[in-house]
Structure 1
Amino acid sequence: MKNFKRIISGVTALALACGLSLNASAELKEGDSKAYRGTGYLAKCEVVSVKDDKSTVKVTLKNTSKKTINHWAVGFDGGFFGKIEDVKYGRLFTPGERYNNVIRDCGTNGSVAPNQCVSFSFTMLDWENRSELPERIRVYSDINKSNTVDELNTAAKICYNFVIIDVMTYGGDQGYTIYDCFENGALANSNSKGGMKTGFNYKYKAYGDYVINMIASQYARGDISVYVDRREFESGFDFFVQVRDNKTGKVGQYPRPTDGTAEWGTFDLDAPLQADFSESQLDIAASEAYGCVVNYICNLVSEGHDYQSVLEKCNFQAISKEGLKIDMKASLSECDKLINDELKYNYEGISVYVSEITYDDGFKFSVQTKDPATGKTGQYSDQESIKCYG
């Protein structure tokens, strides 16, 4: 393997060493390049050729850590590159246009010693030369194997979303329901007792397992397992996803992200929630609670209540001075139940405060949320009045 200084010029090497980006044009041109720096690596993307609505890009990685990399992969945000048609000295891990492009080692070049380099190239469709070199790339390796609880919960959430978006949509196209996915083998491995190992070197034939492995590998590193199963509640059923770091034993979960102590293989309602909600999360919770109140008001109007009658019925707990505390096991009614059911899986423990509801050619109110543990707050209101029709 050649020394890095033989691959790039002295100017480029200096830029890489300082973590700087080289200039690149707004559209790809032969010779354009950009440098990147991250934990344990330096990288360079270089445009090798641009011809006939196709562009070829060479990527070079240098291992700057003190340990040998045994497996590597490079991820590019989907918006930056077109459809990849051909890869040399690597393998495309995420085919199709719905996912971020990820290219992994080809099997014979996965081991990279300290201060050594590895290169691969790919050719992509680049209609009218609209692509640009990305501002950042993601480099995955086995150097950093630890996962925080937040990373595990995030991986579980993204897997959950892709099961809904992709696996269930695929199932609908094939004529079966969300529940059938657990019966017909679409999630054969991820729904098994021990869960499913994930990583760039794993391959799964079942469509659901294939999608989950493809997504989980990008958000959780090292020795990871994913478990997917059904969960039932009063109004029907849904499913949940858990992601476990087998090295530390910590478990991420969604819905209801916990502090890492969720019981593996069951939807854990008792493990403490992930602590310290951010203000942006509290803003989202406030907007979701706002939507619940809107639905409650409009349902009353559709039942024949006039605006005065609606205002009289809006005397629920969340509108009181004490507010409504979100509790997984609470027994509530009316609008309080709507709000609690909407928020309890992700925001247990926060308080919701709905302002006085007024009417002037439409209903007007605002919602505030608060995390009692930190004092952080979120809020949501709409500039326009809410108009409901019976």
Structure 2
Amino acid sequence: MKIIKKIMSGVTALALACGLSLTASAELKAGDYKAYKGTGYLAKYEVLSVKDGKSTVKVTLKNTTKKKINNWAVRFANYADIEGVKNGKLFSPDYWMFRIIKDDGTNGSVAPNECVSFSFTMTDPGNSSDIPVGITVYSDLDKSNSVKDLNKTAFACYNGIDQILNDYKAKGVSFDECFKNGVFANLNSKDGMKTGFNYKYRSETDREINALASMFSRGNISVYVGRTEIDGEDTYFVQAKDNRTGKVGQYPRWTDGTAEWGTFDLDAPLYNKNYSESHLNSAARNVHESVEDYLNAEGLDYQSLLENDDFQAASKEGLKIDVKASLTGCDKIINDKLKFNYEGMIVYVSKMPSDYYSHSHLVTDFFVKTEDPATGKTGQYPQSELVLR
């Protein structure tokens, strides 16, 4: 108990050194605040004023490490429109549901035990904004990027590109035109686009992808968006490279960091990720839904599908998910559903035992089992808890 008290008193002392109290009031009004503690920093979010549909907030950071930090940035959830920032710059796109505010170029260096503050005013009709539950602080202290970080960066940017392409499609601009007309000019260049909180881009696309990449990888990072063909369809892929180590993350198809830069690499070893039971159960559910959709679209019943000798998922060996596989029928539907996130997993589809039913009372005639061959773990749908009739 004395040790716990000592730790808490130390945290409190650090907080009070910059006025960073560790409590917060429940309602948003002038004087409300909340303090946060993270690796290498303490932070305080304080409401300075609430008036005429606008709120002004001050955020203070304290460097609790023994090294000077540079190029800091803060991320927090905020649904209001930010009208102005003092001693900082809004880094994230205006339409994001969370905000990233970075240093203003003159206050980016913070010495050990020193504090830095910025403030912003936001529109707040009805005084309905909340104090963020948590915040994330970035700096140049953490420049190490694991292969997992790089793959996650590629995945986040892939989803960002997907939204951008959909927005252009709604405006009548095709996938092909986006690449030919320079929407991805920097991202599709030979060396890719440099990312980080110290980079500034004019293009809305570049700004959005830069913000996404900066949240997941730090240091000397480049992001590349390329075109490829997957199963006869024209599509795209994203890579994130740590220029210091040469490691490359990729999506689709997470790799072990050795993917060839600028090429959708289907030969590099997969990222060494063992699937959890949650992943396996989720994949099984996705397969079950895909098979049902296939049966409805083709006007088939499950019995005729399971009796089809060409249906690999119903065989003793099952169907191994492979992004490079060339399949037909329901096997293709299943593989397409899982191939980007569950490569290497094995899928089995079989008749539901007559004396079992799902605890969720799902009415179904077939059963899906998934297996991670590396660990032997399995998942299934309907869910694993089956009850006798």
TM-score scaled to structure 1, two decimals?
0.86
Per-residue Cα deviation, 1:277-323 (whole angstroms, up to 9, x for no partner): 2333323322332232123211331xxx5676455448722123322
Specify the alignment match of 2:314 in structure 1.
Answer: 319
What does 1:315-354 align with in structure 2 at a 5 Å threshold? 316-354=311-349
CA distance in 1, matches of 2:301, 2:368: 23
**Could you say which residue in structure 2 is the equivalent of 1:119?**
117
Say whether residues 1:239 and 2:236 are aligned partners. Answer: yes
Offset at residue 363 of structure 1 (A): 4.5
1:154 aligns with 2:152: yes
SS at structure 2 position matched to 1:330: coil
State the one-letter code of the partner of 1:161: N
Q: Which residue is 2:387 aligned to?
A: none
Q: Is the 8 A contact 2:29 2:49 kept in 1?
A: yes
Tell me how far apart the structure 2 counterparts of residues 192 and 178 of structure 1 sit (CA, whole Å).
17
Counterpart of 2:331 in structure 1: which amino acid?
D
Q: CA deviation at 1:181?
A: 1.2
1:239-288 C-alpha deviation (Å, 9 max, x unpaired): 00001111222111111111111111100101111222233332332233
Q: Matched residues in 1 for 2:312 and 2:303: separation?
A: 19
Distance 1:287 1:237 in 2: 28
CA distance in 2, matches of 1:238, 1:251: 20
1:56 aligns with 2:56: yes
Which of 109, 128, 131 is the matching residue for 1:130?
128
8 Å CA contact retained: 1:90, 1:106: yes
User: Does residue 259 of structure 2 align to residue 262 of structure 1?
Assistant: yes
Are 1:272 and 2:264 an aligned pair? no
Secondary structure at the aligned position of 1:355 is classed as strand
Q: Distance in 1 between matches of 2:333 and 2:271?
A: 23
Match of 1:101 in 2: 99
In the other structure, the counterpart of 1:30 is 30
What amino acid does structure 1 have at the position aligned with 2:74? V
Unaligned runs of at least 5 residues, structure 2: 1-9, 385-389
* Change in CA separation of 1:180 and 1:378 when aligned onto 2, cut-off 3 Å: farther
Partner SS state of residue 150, structure 1:
helix
- Structure 2 length-normalised TM: 0.86
Aligned partners of 1:188 and 1:206 also within 8 Å: no
Contact 1:23 1:32 in 2 (8 A): no
Find out whether 1:381 has 2:382 as its counterpart.
Answer: yes
Aligned equivalents of 2:287 and 2:351: distance in 1?
Answer: 14
59-68 or 290-299: bigger deviation: 290-299
Moved more, 26-35 or 341-350: 341-350
Using the alignment, how far apart are the partners of 1:100 and 1:234 within structure 2?
36
1:60-99 counterparts in 2 under 5 A? 60-78=60-78, 81-99=79-97
Q: Which amino acid aligns with 1:270?
A: D
Q: In the alignment, is residue 184 of structure 1 matched against residue 184 of structure 2? A: no
* Distance apart, 1:382 and its partner CA: 7.9
Question: Structure 1, unaligned stretches of length 5 or more?
Answer: 1-9, 384-390
Q: Which amino acid aligns with 2:111?
A: A
Alignment partners' CA distance in 2, 1:332 and 1:357? 25
**1:324–1:352 Cα contact (<8 Å) kept:** yes
CA distance in 2, matches of 1:119, 1:177: 44
Quick one: structure 1 residues 348 and 11, their matched pair in 2 at CA, closer, same or farther if it must change by over 3 Å? closer
Contact (CA 8 Å) 1:25, 1:132: kept in 2 or not?
no
Give me the whole-angstrom Cα distance separating, in 1, the residues matched to 2:190 and 2:224: 8
Structure 1 residues 83 and 369: CA distance shift in structure 2, 3 A: same
- Cα separation, 1, equivalents of 2:137 and 2:16: 15
- Change in CA separation of 1:105 and 1:73 when aligned onto 2, cut-off 3 Å: same
Query: 1:21: Cα distance to partner?
Result: 7.2
AA at the equivalent of 2:313 = A
Hey, what does 1:217 align to over in structure 2? 214
Residue 112 of structure 2 aligns with an amino acid whose one-letter code is P
Alpha-carbon contact 1:187-1:206 (below 8 Å) kept: no
Once residues 183 and 82 of structure 1 are traced to their aligned partners in structure 2, the CA distance between those partners, rounded to angstroms, is 36
Deviation (angstroms), 1:334: 2.3
Provide the rounded CA distance (Å) in 2 between the counterparts of 1:16 and 1:348.
51
**Partner SS, residue 366 of structure 1:** strand
Q: Which AA in structure 2 matches 1:370?
A: E
The structural deviation recorded for 1:67 is: 1.6
| Alpha carbons 1:16, 1:43 under 8 Å: kept | no
Alignment of 1:302-313 (within 5 A): 305=300, 309-310=304-305, 312-313=307-308
CA contact 1:257–1:273 (8 Å) conserved in 2: yes
How much has 1:45 moved relative to structure 2? 1.1
Give 1:69 deviation, angstroms.
1.1
Q: 1:122 to 1:365 in 2, by over 3 A?
A: same
Q: 1:306 to 1:376 in 2, by over 3 A?
A: closer
Which residue number in structure 2 is paired with residue 294 of structure 1? 292
CA distance in 2, matches of 1:189, 1:293: 41
- Distance across 2 between alignment mates of 1:148 and 1:15: 31
Counterpart amino acid of residue 197 in structure 2: F
Q: Measure the CA separation in 2 of the matches of 1:44 and 1:201.
A: 24
Task: Note if 1:367 corresponds to 2:339.
Answer: no
Q: How many residues align?
A: 366
